[in-house]
Amino acid sequence: MSGTIPAAVKIMWAGEGKFDAGRTGGPSIRLDSSASTGPSPVDALLSALGSCAAVDVVDILAKRRTPVESLTVDVQAERVDGTPKRLARATLNFAIGGAGIERVHAERAIELAVNKYCSVRDSLRADVPVTWTLSLNGEGQPTDKATPA
On whether the pTM is more than 0.95, the answer is: no
Give the per-residue pLDDT at 139.
77
Torsion of CA 104, 78, 51, 140, to 10 degrees: 30
pLDDT 10s digits, 78-109: 999 999 999 999 999 999 999 999 999 999 99
- CA dihedral over 122, 29, 34, 93, signed as positive or negative: negative
Every domain of the chain with CATH number 3.30.300.20 lies at 41-146
**Three-class SS state of 68:** coil
Is 41-146 a domain of CATH 3.30.420.40?
no
